[in-house]
Amino acid sequence: MFFNEEFETLPRVALEALQLKRLQSVLERIYSNVPFYKETFDSNGLKPSDISNLEDLQKLPFTTKQNMRDSYPYGLFAAPMDEIIRIHASSGTTGKPTVVGYTKKDISTWSELMARSFVAAGAHKGDIIHNAYGYGLFTGGLGAHYGAEQLGASVIPISGGNTKRQIMIMQDFGSTVLTCTPSYSLFMAEEAQAEGVDFKKLKLRVGIFGAEPWSEAMRHEIESKLNLSAIDIYGLSEIMGPGVAIECIEAKKGLHIWEDHFIPEIINPETGERLPEGERGELVITTITKQGIPLIRYRTRDITSLTYEPCICGRTHAIITRMSGRSDDMLIIRGVNVFPSQIEAILVGIEGIEPHYMLMIDRQGTLDTLTVQVEVSEHLFSDEIKVLQALARRVEKEIKDMLGVTCTAKLVEPKTIQRSEGKAKRVTDNRNLQ
Ligand code: DLL
């Protein structure tokens, strides 16, 4: 089953011809509309017309999250603000988020690609889609919502949280498709069990899970606990949001990336060189239809591999394998993206503690937990316990307020956190997601 059969099954030659045409047009557009790209082209002695085939894409420099940060908030937009109808944002490496804007056409493309993704995952018109991705600046909620409507399914815009109510609604409303992060689905299963609700009696048939790394082992656990078929969905706000790539239910082996809108490449994250088909490296994506904020060779930092082998589902679009990590230090804790540098920036601003810290991430049951160990200043350490407790609560509150992540702060004696002689190791991740 397809949502847009013609485009999802375009023969390779036609697909590549379409990519080139769209690439050339987006290059012209950004050269005239985005000063950052004009300068990048000019300083490399390039003109959009120098790109005469898809291989030439490699002549162009990468775009990074840092470039987006430098042009905060709207500097990379290629459309005037009166054509931008939606703004989303995700965590940047410091306190400032990465901002993206969508024109009307961008929202309609995104809706179509999400609708395609739903169909690839085995959903259809008539399904009741229980959308527990968060609604807000995060792209998960609204992305899945618009796609579900485009498909013509009934969408329940429940968003995240209030798990008991989620389970009641799933039961009473007869939800057939669940969309949320994989870890949240397992938490739901646990809560349901505690409430005496048997997932086997629910109507759920398919779960579409993404926004954080998960493993094959976790897929099996989810499938057996929730009694549904679990599908991996990938995306990132900078490129669009959810629905950049999705597994098909027929093969469930890797994710089709919608190549009529995105050109994927895999590079060696150290050298930037393009890697051959099948080799693992960092995924780089060029958007070829976006109007609001087109990005050329955007470094996703996600590690995967790419193959063009035909798939039994009939889709001709390339397949990326399950993400196996990141080439930077971004952590995803309960679906929230966090950079250690953001936590550091908060700690540095709090009187009475030192900027020596260690982040410990564990998985208790199905939920991620974050513990921030941080050293107290000498002059405070001998102070009464009440003062220290108040300080710990302040650290927790500031991290929650600024980053949206719940953590436990553990204050430790001065000079007890190991100092490093090279690259500091500030994170211990015990979740074992591979
Ligand atoms: O997480 C978009 C999304 C929403 C995708 C709902 C899927 C479902 P960001 O908040 O910008 O956007 O985070 C993007 O999350 O670069 C990956 O590191 C990670 N990520 C997303 N999907 C997957 C996945 C949304 N299926 C970052 N497997 C990306 C592993 C994923 N990591």
Most confident residue range from 116-130, 177-191, 366-380: 116-130
Is 93's pLDDT higher than 90? no
CA of 335 to the centre of ligand 1 (A): 8
Is 38's pLDDT higher than 60? yes
**Model confidence over 274-292: pLDDT tens digits?**
999 999 999 999 999 999 9
Whether 258 is in the pocket of ligand 1, judged by its Cβ within 6 Å, is no
Out of 117, 181, 222, 234, give the residue to mutate to test ligand 1, the one with the largest number of ligand atoms within 8 Å of its CB: 234
Domain ranges of the chain: 5-328, 333-429
Is 432's pLDDT higher than 90? no
Is 424's pLDDT higher than 70? no
Which CATH architecture does the domain made up of 333-429 adopt?
A: 2-Layer Sandwich (3.30)
The pLDDT assigned to 364 comes to 83
**Model confidence over 195-213: pLDDT tens digits?**
999 999 999 999 999 998 8
pLDDT band at 419 (very low <50, low <70, confident <90, very high): confident
Asked if residue 57 lies in contact with residue 286, where contact means CB atoms within 8 angstroms, the answer is yes
Average pLDDT over residues 107-118: 98
CA of 332 to the centre of ligand 1 (A): 9
The pLDDT assigned to 372 comes to 96
**Residue of higher predicted confidence among 49 and 379:** 49
The pLDDT assigned to 433 comes to 62
Is 328's pLDDT higher than 70? yes
Average pLDDT, the chain: 93
Is 41's pLDDT higher than 70? yes
Is 423's pLDDT higher than 60? no
**Model confidence over 343-356: pLDDT tens digits?**
988 888 898 988 78
Out of 65, 117, 236, give the residue to mutate to test ligand 1, the one with the largest number of ligand atoms within 8 Å of its CB: 236
Q: Which fold has domain 5-328?
A: Rossmann fold (3.40.50)
User: Between vectors from CA 104 to CA 103 and to CA 105, what angle results, nearest 5°?
Assistant: 90
Round to whole Å and give the CA distance between 40 and 64.
13
Residue (of 340, 370, 383) closest to 94 by Cα position: 340
